[in-house]
Amino acid sequence: MTSSNPSEAPKWYPLAISHHSAAIRLARPHIAASNPAHSEAIFNFSAFNSLFSFAEPVLRPENEGGTPPIPRDYLSDLLDSFKMARGIRAIIAKDPSLLADKGLTTNPAWSYEAQVARIETNITSRYPQLPKLELLVSESVEDAEQRAGTLKALHSLFVNMAVLEESPKDHSSASLIQRWAIACGVPFLALCDSRHPAALVVLAHYAVFVQMRTNIWFFQRWPRLILREIGVELRGSRWAQWIEEPVREVQRLEAESETAS
């Protein structure tokens, strides 16, 4: 309701937050105490909670009643949603065989291995900017673990973008947008937390990834917000030129979507 009718936000947003807080409170004991009887429910709850953490920040009403607005940090909100999404891995690790038997983690409809393997064979010719970005990361990230984690996240991002390019708008591959965050390792996320310019450049291309599925409501507001925040962080530096391409690509996809509609 808040998404489709922003004027209703003061009415529905507090109610949504109260329901979410109650759900967290009730689920926490079951998450802490692993129990096969609750594994499926906790897995599904974790997935919905991850979605909530992604969708909520951009729908949060501004302060009203004359109170000075609290400065928003959408990048921190985005990274918090990534960390929340990664919590699904911990849930799966508690009962992997049970969740697999129920088809929650092994559904063929959510598997793209063959497509990914084919895409991998020509990924650099398909995206000639990728080798340049990989070189940028290699030359600018000093810590070896963070460098390796960032290169892995960058490569995976472009492969997943190719999957979305080849798939219909209503295809299940849209889940890759959040699954990419789940797969990102701690070293890369730490680099994002520190606002390292190389990590911000990767996130700028993630904005393009999200823009590819803005037909889904909870993705719609993020691309421009991500690019705006990163633009502020990199303004006046040599790094600003590295986000010009993702900005143009988001604008192109927006125009393409408007023409189609």
Question: pLDDT tens across 154-163, in order?
Answer: 999 999 999 9
d(CA 158, CA 129) in angstroms, rounded, equals: 10
Q: Are residues 138 and 184 in the same domain?
A: yes
Q: Are residues 163 and 255 in the same domain?
A: yes
d(CA 118, CA 121) in angstroms, rounded, equals: 6
Is residue 126 within 8 A of residue 161, CB to CB? The reply is: no
Q: Are residues 169 and 248 in the same domain?
A: yes
Outline where 95-185 has alpha helix (H).
Answer: 96-101, 113-120, 123-126, 129-140, 144-166, 176-183
pLDDT tens, N- to C-terminus, the chain (261 residues): 455 555 555 667 777 777 667 666 766 666 666 667 667 777 777 777 888 888 898 988 776 444 556 678 999 999 999 998 887 767 666 666 655 655 555 566 667 889 999 999 999 999 999 999 999 999 999 999 999 999 999 999 999 999 999 999 999 899 999 999 999 999 999 999 999 999 999 999 999 999 999 999 999 999 999 999 999 999 999 999 999 999 999 999 999 988 886
Q: Are residues 13 and 92 in the same domain?
A: yes
If one counts the domains in the chain, the total is 2
Q: Are residues 97 and 173 in the same domain?
A: no
Question: pLDDT tens across 141-194, in order?
Answer: 999 999 999 999 999 999 999 999 999 999 989 999 999 999 999 999 999 999
The pTM of the full predicted model, rounded to 2 decimals, is: 0.86
Which of 77, 101, 125 delimits the end of a domain? 101
Q: Which domain holds residue 45?
A: 6-101
The per-residue pLDDT for 42 is 73
Sign of CA dihedral 135, 141, 143, 145: negative
Burial 187-216 (b: 16+ CB within 10 A, else e): bbbbbbeebbbbbbbbbbbbbbbbbbbbee
Q: Are residues 168 and 84 in the same domain?
A: no
Helical axes 39-55 vs 176-183, angle rounded to 10°: 100
